[in-house]
Structure 1
């Protein structure tokens, strides 16, 4: 992105200067079932809509479908240092992993239709150990990270889950005002029973971690105030 600015080097002169905006990074996909990936896509669109309403065009929005841990790492690590203002991840999850499988529903049939085969023999999950491969310097000091999958913040008071670990890694990178949000239980997309087509995971019991420590469990619906999170 470039802008033009009037300079005082000579009358009427104009120089082109580079302006680098912070980004909102949204990663989604990785499910075996096409219907699940479609739900992640719809939920992602809800979050993007809220960002566009609140941001006043201050941040660039980057939306990437991912199907493996390698693609997750590539999407985060290729960003510039101190550039990721927020990261939203829409995948299946658990306390120790984001679950992404390397077989797709469109390849249905034996043995792909066996759940244990998909999630064991052909598992491309992102584990807590994989956090060591992330370039955490790419995040801003006040970055907001939210995991939409099930139980990514299970056992919140023990701080023994992938969300708490991610927060600790941010602290180690000097991102001391950052926050990480994850579900303490299973996550479901139906935020509004009166509006069933609306798919949004931002409800239910969510834990908020800062510097690796649990600061709050909330049942608030929708986006959590980022100015409060950055305190």
Structure 2
């Protein structure tokens, strides 16, 4: 994992956070750097039942899962040799099958999405958005991460990119303006893609879903 990619995710996350504060000024926000799926799962599971309205995840991604490595940071370059030798893969996988087929050099803090207590999300209208490459696509043999997540919040939405992503929205070269919310994003609900959108930045679900 390279420092420049972590930094891009950080600046992109700040811009998403600004939008949340603009549209929902009275809500409570948690903005946190994590280097393992366990941290994500634990943070979700410690929340009250039906208290989470939305979740944004900024990681290297694919249809199989979201990739994170113990010890990664914005300031330290983590080489593939480090990951392999020290078994630092602490990623979040779409399922036990995806874990079995694709997970290598794994750390004890690796998890699947089924370790999450999904009753922590509001029962209707919850949103999970994945800001990572190809995470909004599907697989032929087993289900993808967006599909599986959407089935766990059946009256909510899961948003993910159908192609590779980059943070240079509008061809920006300004780090502070970096944002992954452009290109084609798929909107999943209860196991199906109900819409694809090229809307940049904030998606207004009240308008997009009409």
Q: 1:203 and 2:168 equivalent?
A: no
1:37 CA drift (Å): 1.7
Corresponding residue to 2:113 among 101, 107, 131 = 131
Greater relative CO (CA pairs within 8 A, separation 6+): 2
1:160 CA drift (Å): 3.5
- The 5 Å alignment of 1:182-201 reads 182-194=160-172, 196-197=174-175, 198-201=177-180
TM-score, with length taken from structure 2: 0.81
- The 5 Å alignment of 1:116-155 reads 118=83, 121-129=87-95, 130-140=112-122, 141-155=124-138
Q: Choose 193-202 or 146-155, whichever is displaced more.
A: 193-202
Q: Any stretches of 5+ residues in structure 1 without a counterpart?
A: 1-31
Q: 1:46 and 2:25 equivalent?
A: no
1:96–1:58 CA distance, 2 compared to 1 (3 A): same
Question: Number of residues paired by the alignment?
Answer: 190
How far apart in 2 are the matches of 1:182 and 1:156? Answer: 14
Counterpart position of 1:79: 47
- The 5 Å alignment of 1:163-182 reads 163-171=146-154, 176=155, 178-182=156-160
CA deviation string 1:79-112 (max 9, x = no partner): 111111110001111111110012437666xxx6
1:59 CA drift (Å): 1.2
RMSD over equivalenced CA pairs, Å: 2.5
1:124 CA drift (Å): 1.0
How far apart in 2 are the matches of 1:66 and 1:149? Answer: 15
1:213–1:157 CA distance, 2 compared to 1 (3 A): farther
Q: Any stretches of 5+ residues in structure 2 without a counterpart?
A: 96-111
